[in-house]
Amino acid sequence: MKIKIQDEIKDALVSGQPVVALESTIISHGLPYPDNLATANALEEAVRQKGAVPATIAIFDGLPHIGLDAEKLALLADPNSKIEKVSRRDIPYLLSSRTHGATTVAATMLFAKTAGIAVFATGGIGGVHRGASASFDISADLPELARTSVCVVCAGPKAILDIPLTLEVLETSGVPVIGYQCDEVPAFWSQGGTGTSVPLRLDTADEIASLLRHKWQAGLEGGVLVTNPVPKADEIPALELQAAITSALEQAEIRGITGKKVTPYLLDHIREETDGRSLNTNKALVLNNARLAADIALSYSKK
């Protein structure tokens, strides 16, 4: 596949320096302007401060870009630019119509792998939606984790999802799910409250990097999911969020929201219901994930 890799990233990859992939759906569809642009910049800065090179990924004029300049980040963040949300399913049309797109976890993983980047930081992955037995709404992030060899660092599946079922699908798909310094699967905005145990707890970036090396050297292709709880000071306890989540799910149902609009709709609604409190939590957790991803990439680069 034809992709465009920024020179700095190309050099880092060739010389085995640590690189961290970052997604762009969170910029164009996950956070409101101008917090989205500030967060996109802060994520790159956090990765650099750790000594790794950030690689934000998106599609411009039908060409997947690995690493974006300030102008491209600003274009993604601008609510007037009408950027498509692009998951695996949407990639062919983006390429053929030569348009711009912001990549989800699934699409970002795919391009990161194509570029040779092993570690990727996001906010929360998509998963099995509540009521999926009727709606069949399961994020394309899950099958991508099953097939694409990239380590994804997140703060857990978003709490709007069915977390136990999401874990079941990951188990079926052979995806190791690691709790970083935690025993319970974190729920994105909350440190815990899911009542679901992590299948595997690891407490250091070195142990995670070692697992990655062993997995892929053994020929076990596919992703690894690291769940990293939001810092205590920034979390919204699960109980306090319950009403906002219930209301968001009800409104989405009433308005007949389906397909790729579901997740951005729910996130927006929860932000309104919490008077913006969820926004601060969202920003804090992605930053926290970018830092851990950089630590893992650093350790992984010292093979």
Residue with smaller CB distance to ligand PSU, 105 or 208: 105
Residue with smaller CB distance to ligand PSU, 139 or 299: 139
Residue with smaller CB distance to ligand PSU, 26 or 52: 26
Q: Indicate which of Mn ion, ligand PSU, none lies near residue 176 (CB less than 5 to 8 Å, by partner kind).
A: none
- Does 35 bind ligand PSU (CB under 6 A)? Our answer is no
| Whether residue 10 lies in the annotated active site | no
Catalytic residue among 50, 85, 113, 158: 158
- Does 29 bind ligand PSU (CB under 6 A)? Our answer is yes
| Whether residue 23 lies in the annotated active site | yes
Residue with smaller CB distance to ligand PSU, 87 or 194: 87
Which of 67, 126, 179, 186 contacts ligand PSU by CB under 6 A? 126
Which of 36, 104, 190, 289 contacts ligand PSU by CB under 6 A? 104
CA–CA separation, 268 vs 276, rounded Å?
9
- Does 139 bind ligand PSU (CB under 6 A)? Our answer is yes
Residue with smaller CB distance to ligand PSU, 10 or 261: 261
Three-class DSSP labels, the chain: CCCEECHHHHHHHHCCCCEEEECCHHHHHHCCCCHHHHHHHHHHHHHHHCCCEEEEEEEECCEEEECCCHHHHHHHHCHHHCCEEECHHHHHHHHHHCCCEEECHHHHHHHHHHHCCCEEECCCECCEECCHHHHCCECCHHHHHHHCCCEEEECCECCCECHHHHHHHHHHCCCCEEEECCCECCECCECCCCCCECCEEECCHHHHHHHHHHHHHCCCCCCEEEECCCCHHHCCCHHHHHHHHHHHHHHHHHCCCCHHHHHHHHHHHHHHHCCCHHHHHHHHHHHHHHHHHHHHHHHHHCC
- Does 282 bind ligand PSU (CB under 6 A)? Our answer is yes
Kindly state the smallest distance separating residue 161's Cβ from ligand PSU, in Å. Answer: 8
Cβ atoms 283, 31 nearer than 8 A:
yes
Q: Two tokens at 188? A: 């994105």
Q: Candidates 47-55, 92-100, 138-146, 172-180 — which segment interacts with ligand PSU by CB under 6 A?
A: 138-146
Q: Candidates 34-42, 45-53, 139-147, 202-210 — which segment interacts with ligand PSU by CB under 6 A?
A: 139-147
Name the residue whose CB lies closest to ligand PSU.
123
User: Residue 67: which region, alpha, beta or left (left: phi > 0; alpha: psi -120 to 50)?
Assistant: left
Residues that bind Mn ion (CB under 5 A): 137
- Does 50 bind ligand PSU (CB under 6 A)? Our answer is no
Residue with smaller CB distance to ligand PSU, 17 or 264: 264
152 to each of 7, 74, 225, how far by Cα in Å? 24, 25, 5
- Does 124 bind ligand PSU (CB under 6 A)? Our answer is yes
Kindly state the smallest distance separating residue 73's Cβ from ligand PSU, in Å. Answer: 16
Residues that bind ligand PSU (CB under 6 A): 23, 25-26, 29-30, 87, 104-105, 122-124, 126, 139-141, 260, 263, 267, 282
Catalytically active residues, by annotation: 23, 158
